[in-house]
Amino acid sequence: MTECNPIATPMEVNFADTGEQLSYNVPYRKLICSLMYLAITSRPDLSFSVSYLSRTLDKPSVPTWKAAKRILRYLKKTRDFSLIFGKDSKHIVGYSDADWAGDRSSRKSVSGFVAFYGGNAITWYSRRQNCVALSTAESEYVAGATAAQELMNIK
């Protein structure tokens, strides 16, 4: 992968795992776990992609293996990204978002959250909601309520 072509996004838009399972042994689990470490500790931009691919650790397919390698190409493109804490802002600011029934297998919505302090991300996540939302408004409400809980824990 050292000679790979860099790419600007970590995952294709409307990615779907519709391919056949891998018939050969690849280090998929090891790669996803390494990417998960990056997503949790220093790369909020990887959270959604890694969270999505981690659902297939036991049965990787050809499309998910290609998607995992795409993240490596994205990392090559963004290797100069860094977290910089500014002195100006002393406020904690949080943002949340959700889709509606974005997980095609369970029809659960996916929530995303990021909290900033000093202009920099200090905590973030991208994960499936625990319930099945009946509307976009409900999925956004669940995401906002969960984000508010996270912000209360930070203070």
The string of pLDDT tens digits covering residues 99-132 is 998 877 789 999 999 998 877 888 999 999 999 9
| Top-confidence residue, 8 or 19 | 8
What pLDDT, on a 0 to 100 scale, did the predictor assign at position 75?
A: 96
pLDDT in tens, 136-155: 999 999 999 999 999 999 87
Residues 15 and 71 in one domain: yes
Domain match, 14 and 76 both: yes
101 and 59 within one domain = no
* Residue that terminates a domain, selected from 47, 82, 117: 82
Start-to-end C-alpha separation, the chain: 41
pLDDT of residue 96: 96
- Select from 108, 114, 105, 121 the least CA-distant residue to 146: 114
Q: Which one of 42, 61, 82 terminates a domain?
A: 82
State how far the Cα of 13 lies from the Cα of 75, in Å rounded to an integer.
17
Domain that holds residue 142: 92-154
Question: Does residue 2 lie within any of the structural domains?
Answer: no
27-67 pLDDT, tens per residue? Answer: 999 999 999 999 998 899 999 999 999 988 888 999 999 99
Long-range CB contacts for residues 65-68, cutoff 8 Å, separation at least 24: 65/22, 65/26, 65/28, 67/11, 67/12, 67/15, 68/28, 68/31, 68/32, 68/35
Using DSSP, state whether 92 is helix, strand or coil.
strand
At 52, which helix (H) or strand (E)? helix 47-53
Considering its fold, how many domains does the chain have in total? 2
Is the pLDDT reported for residue 83 higher than 80? no
| pTM for the structure as a whole | 0.76
Is 118 found in the same domain as 75? Answer: no
pLDDT tens per residue, range 118-127: 778 889 999 9
153: CB partners within 8 A, 6+ apart: none
Q: Do 123 and 59 fall within a single domain?
A: no
